[in-house]
Chain A
Amino acid sequence: MPPKVDREKCDGCKAEKESLCEQICPGDLMTLAEDKKAYCRMPRDCWDCMSCIKACPKGALETRIPYQLGYHVAKLIPMMGTNTITWTCIDINGKVERFQYINRGMLD
């Protein structure tokens, strides 16, 4: 399932040739529409790696959890620090679990 794009937040990376989500997507699926908002051009090919979600500096992208894992209330949200990452998992009943890791340093 491709990521959901908050069209108000997305600034198309200031209409760059390649937005950050486009650059990072391993399948080269994300791209900018005519109105300079990101979208996934081949929704069926997205394998939910969540690279684009971590990369988006505006927080405009959100994972759509595949229905086999959870319905629409369920969410999986990463938050990237300099060398930390936190994960917030919300299941279909609204139960929240959180994880925090020190990452392989982005700073080194």
Chain B
Amino acid sequence: MQKTIPKIGLFIYEQGGRLARAIDLDAVIQRLARIKNVTRCEVLTDLAAPLPSIKEDFTSDKFNRILWVGKFSDYQKKTIQSELSSAGLNPYMHEWCDIEEQGIGIDGVDLGIQTQKAILIIQMSLARTRLLEPLEPLELPAIDAALIIGAGVSGLHTATSFMELGKKVYLVEKESGVGGKVASLHRLYPRICDPRCGLEFEIQKIRESDMVEVHTLSKVKSLEGSPGNFDVRIEKQPRYVSEEKCNACGECMKVCPAVIPEEQRSRESAFINETSQQVLNSLKSEKKAIHPAVPMPYPPTFLIERQSCPSECRECVKVCPAQAIELEQTSSEMAFKVGAVIVTTGWDPYQLSKVEEYGYGIYPNVISNLEMERLLESPPAIEEIGFIQCAGSRDERHLNYCSSVCCSVALKHVLYLKEKLPDARCYIFYQDIRTPGFDEELYQKVKSLHNVIFIRGNPSTVKPGDDGKLKIRTEDTFSGKEIDLSLDLLVLAGGMMPSQGSFEIAQLLNLPQNNFGFFESHLQCHPEESQRTGILVGGACRGPMNISQSIESSHRAAMEVLPFLNRTILIEPKYPVLDLTKCDKCKRCMEECPFLSYVFDENGFPSLDLTKCRQCGNCMGICPLIAISLRNNTIKQIAAQIQALKSSFMGKEEPVILAFLCENDAYHAAKSAVEYGLPVPPNVFFIKVPCAGSVNNALVADALAFGIDGVLIAGCKDGQCHYVKGNQLVKTRSGDLSDKLQKMMIDPQRVRFESLEIRDSKKYVELVKSYIEELRAMGPNPFKS
């Protein structure tokens, strides 16, 4: 590439004499005009009038890059960029230097010092401008199809939304039919509707469209490639019934001799009596070995559970009018390409048998809330029924969180039960009733019902009574009295935990999970991200949530993957570039990249996957050989800026601080400190960085070597970093450097890491002031000349 000699046009934008009041503008201009590479240097009082002459100078090659000094509105910046790009100046060849945000113009500072500081800041920006390169945004090809893993309520709704947007969807489900957990529910509050009705509505859309490919009995086997171009392989278990031929007439089911109980739960027969037998009967459901898909009969093809078939039985083959039975089917693999992935693997109920004190799985009339849904379709005649909330939830031995829906579910059960059995007496044992939002109405409604008793306190023991009832002992924590009850039925509110599929997918796709196994994300800023670009998570695999929340969540995830489904992915050209001649494969960049954006190339060097990269620069910060640089924010540029900062401009004794501020919060704190007119000391200079983690130790060493008295690195608080852990990484690194300083008999406090939030402008000023005091006490940096 031909190297162009940098020729810089330097324009200071002076509005209403603001700068002239703070600094000696003539001295600044005189000083700057003499600097190498500056070919035009002047003060502008208006932007519109001189623009043509700037354009003309640019076309006559007087300069090839421009440094704009002063405050510009976003509108002005955009106008200037577009005006000059029409003349052929690359929009990335502008550098903007706001000297006011660095504290120029603050009352009470000597004009001479302000002027000196302004010159230094502009010189720093000039050093940066010299090294600017023209950049072009990249456009990478992408595939406009999405993979949705899990065809529960979230997956189905998201699939139909994509379908309506004209995007191809591959919906992969491990069960034989779609619908997930929601299909097994009885009724939904508040419309008292059957959830299958809503699901069927979505299925109907899928049925009529050819944009959605549903793969049931399938699991994702591998996912390779990068966002925009993932290669997916799925493994499909055999159905033994041809999807093309089967018309779901049901003839086969009539002749099938093998009956399988749907759920085989051990109930100790010793405890079975009349009521519990009724309960068991209501819960009992059987199906034949050949049956329609479950939980929802879509796809409409039947399937055979071969392990339940009698050997050599061919009844279904004989009777099938469509000759759809294919007993010799084997599992098959399929491959396709997608642009992005949405994981909606949902939840599993907590295993209630682990909550031993309630005897689930031993006593037949202790049932889970999911079983209660089924029981409600035709409840047996029961008189006394208890509901235990938080059976395992909010319990450090089991699930140490609130599953958020169980209270409303139990209240809903009471409501429907009372419709069918108005005389039944319901006891609700609770720790706290949690009915967020409009569910409060449900709570009020249930409270007003006759014979519904709320007892604050979870039962300690559940024992079988002589009359076949359950004897329950509990303490009412309001009155402090012990209560003994005997109940016909006990419903345990089991909590929600991440589904088995979530764990499998987490392992396969290397998705981070939190302590509870739900997918980890940055809750405030990117709630649906999975830290793996192009893979989003939605629905109850992110945390306990109700149906509408999980649909909302998966749709948010869908919104976030849309940029990957546009046939082209636009990439801002400020991505990191690796200098392979310096790299010696130490692999730290790969280890520390929060988004796993680096992969090995064929020679074992790290190579960046541009589509995964978020351009945070953490790789630039860690590289011990300073071989990685963000484009137009290179290490070389920052080093040149540091070199341009004369540390003794206020005299040798007066400390100078260089601050590296994270542009997400600390920078804004510093900027607003000036805007609010807080007394920011003139001793501090800052450099804006995309993330505190992008500050390389070599740069800090540079600053100290050039005699800067204190280096402040300010980033987010723990757990708040947009790039997951940039602040922690830089904290450890600057700690290493501090230790080294101690060995060098230099005060380790010359390098400091601080956490600042976006509104911490007062804290920023206090911090700088106290740091200056500390540095004064330490004396000047020994390397200061």
Q: Which residues of A contact B (CB under 8 A)?
A: 9, 13-14, 16, 19-20, 23, 55, 57-59, 62, 75, 77, 79-86, 88, 90, 96, 98, 100, 106-107
Contact = CB atoms under 8 A, between A and B. Distances in A.
Contact of B626 (A9, A82, A86, A100): A82
Interface of B: 582, 584-588, 591, 622, 624-626, 635-636, 639, 696-699, 701-706, 736-737, 739-740, 743-746, 782-783
Most buried by A among B622, B702, B746: B702
A78 to B, nearest CB: 9
A14 B783 CA distance: 33
Contacts of B737: 59
B585 to A, nearest CB: 8
Contacts of A55: 624
User: Which of A75, A85, A106 is most buried by chain B, counting CB atoms within 10 A of its CB?
Assistant: A106
A79 B744 contact: yes
Nearest to A6: B739
Interface on chain A toward B: helix, strand, loop, or mixed SS? mixed
B310 to A, nearest CB: 56
A58 B584 CA distance: 16
A63 B452 CA distance: 79
Contacts of B636: 82, 107
Nearest to A14: B591
Nearest to A9: B736
Contacts of B625: 106
Contacts of A62: 743
A77 B696 CA distance: 19
A84 B707 CA distance: 12
A60 to B, nearest CB: 8
B743 to A, nearest CB: 6
Nearest to B707: A100
Contact of A90 (B587, B706, B745): B745
B706 A84 contact: yes
Contact of A82 (B639, B736, B743, B783): B639
B671 to A, nearest CB: 27
A6 to B, nearest CB: 8
A96 B745 contact: yes
Contacts of B701: 79-82, 84, 86
4 tightest Cβ-Cβ pairs between the two chains A and B? A81-B702, A57-B624, A81-B701, A84-B705
A58 B586 CA distance: 13
B745 A20 contact: no
A96 B706 CA distance: 18
Contact of B743 (A13, A19, A75, A85): A75
B743 A84 contact: no
Contact of A85 (B587, B705, B736, B739): B705
B591 A80 contact: no
Contacts of A14: 586-588, 591
Contacts of A59: 736-737, 739-740
A84 B36 CA distance: 22
B744 A88 contact: yes
24 contacts: A9-B736, A9-B739, A13-B586, A14-B587, A14-B591, A16-B585, A20-B624, A23-B584, A23-B586, A55-B624, A57-B622, A77-B740, A77-B744, A79-B705, A79-B740, A81-B699, A81-B702, A82-B701, A83-B639, A84-B702, A84-B705, A84-B706, A90-B745, A107-B635
A88 B745 contact: yes
B736 A20 contact: no
Contacts of A20: 584, 586, 624
A16 B745 contact: no
Given A16-B586, A75-B743, A100 B705 contact: yes
Contacts of A16: 585-587
Nearest to B131: A107
B588 A57 contact: yes
A98 B743 CA distance: 13
A84 B708 CA distance: 13
B643 to A, nearest CB: 8
A82 B702 contact: yes
A86 B783 contact: yes
